[in-house]
Amino acid sequence: MAIISIERMKKFMDIPKAAELLLTRNEKEIKFSISLKLKKEEIIFCEGYVVYHNVVLGPAKGGIRISPEVDIEETKKLATIMTYKNALAKIPFGGGKSGIKLDTERVDDFTRISIIKEFVHMIKEELEFNHYIPAPDLGSGPVDMAVIYGELHRPECVTGKPVRIGGLPGRREATGRGVAKSVFLTGERILKKKNSEIKVAIQGFGNVGRWTAYFLHKKGVKIVGVSDKWGGIYNENGIDIEKLFLHSPDRNKTVAGFPEAEDITNEELFTLDVDILIPAAIGGVVNERNAEEINAKVIVEGANDPVSEKGEKILYERGIPVLPDFFCNSGGVIASYIEWRNAKSGNQTEKEEVFEIIDKKIEKAFEEIEEIKGRIKGTYREAAMYIALTELIEAMRERAWL
């Protein structure tokens, strides 16, 4: 679900007709085909997409998703989420996203890098003029961002770069840091529990899942379940995340088979009796088929769009609140903004300072969401949408778009 339709939000606020028109279509959609000759009579083809949803606040910002499931519809949806994420975090970026339809498990590193270079050539102007600023997303990482930088030689053209070449210390952990902060706030202000009394389950042990787990574990939160695309693990006394990092050092090595836990399936992970469930892998995993079986007290969305509209309706009726993705996982884009700003100014920021900025922005947004939620008597998602829409509409007025 991620975003609530403008039509539904009209019951809470006045939305000018022109703003509705601007927010219900994409400013730009680019679709292209990448072809790469590997050797005689062996050519790889894959489709690429770039979407700018709305850029009233600034240049289009959003990650590159590399996956065989990517398509233009998904890219449009993810670009829209970015518009609201940036607006809620009060960052001067618009909503963008890109995708490369490719199964990275079926190509070697050399081929993958060549495909990234082709991607850059396809949208060179967009990148050079800073109209679209990519970052890592599902299936892409700092090395890919370094390749993009290498093609353009302009540090502000891409964020999520390795630290030595102008990347930001703490960018790797940033999204997980923000998701963990959302969990701490949920524990303290919604569940009224101490960290040591909170039990969580996390789907996904890639960039977002593993760093969320790391920060939660460090502060004494008990992580009883973790899963990835190959399977999951459960330990009712809590999983030692530092040891799990050794067992699964990166997203290509499964958590399954961890000796200090029993193996479970992804379906079982969703039914665990926990305080907080954190889907931090892919979209649509909580839906009308499993929402009745969820035993968590609150859902904190780590991934983009993990809870479907029908799923959320069932959860709402069961009294299980959902903290929306465009609030919980905004740590990454907050850090990206610092990296981009530094690339333009030459400044450097220490890791602890980055974490402090993320914590502060997440806490401020949480307080604003709670305040509006009380005022409009809506859900967390409706309140977050209200704030983001207010920002966007005001910015449209300031730019004389309305």
Q: Name the site residues for ligand NAD (rule: CB under 6 A).
A: 136-139, 175, 203-209, 227-229, 251, 266, 280-282, 302-304, 329, 332
Q: How far is the CB of 353 from ligand NAD (least distance, A)?
A: 19
Locate the DSSP E strands across 217-334.
222-228, 231-234, 262-264, 276-279, 298-300, 322-323
The smaller minimum CB distance to ligand NAD, of residues 151 and 228, is found at 228
The smaller minimum CB distance to ligand NAD, of residues 151 and 339, is found at 339
- CA-based torsion, 371, 377, 382, 385: positive or negative: negative
The smaller minimum CB distance to ligand NAD, of residues 157 and 179, is found at 179
Q: How far is the CB of 192 from ligand NAD (least distance, A)?
A: 28
**The token pair that represents 167 in the structure block:** 């990347």
Q: How far is the CB of 400 from ligand NAD (least distance, A)?
A: 32
Cα separation of 112 and 105, whole Å? 10
Q: How far is the CB of 182 from ligand NAD (least distance, A)?
A: 12
Q: How far is the CB of 384 from ligand NAD (least distance, A)?
A: 15
The smaller minimum CB distance to ligand NAD, of residues 201 and 393, is found at 201
The smaller minimum CB distance to ligand NAD, of residues 16 and 284, is found at 284
398 Cβ partners below 8 Å, 6+ apart? none
Contact present, 269 and 292 (Cβ < 8 Å): no
Q: Catalytic residue at 219?
A: no
Q: Which residue among the candidates 77, 97, 161, 199 is catalytic per the annotation?
A: 97
Cα separation of 140 and 138, whole Å? 6
Side chain identity at 269, as an amino acid letter?
L
Cα separation of 328 and 238, whole Å? 23
Which residue lies nearest ligand NAD, judged by its C-beta? 206
Cα separation of 295 and 274, whole Å? 7
**The token pair that represents 321 in the structure block:** 């609140």
Report which of 18, 21, 23 is spatially closest to residue 385, judged by C-alpha positions.
23
Active site residues: 97
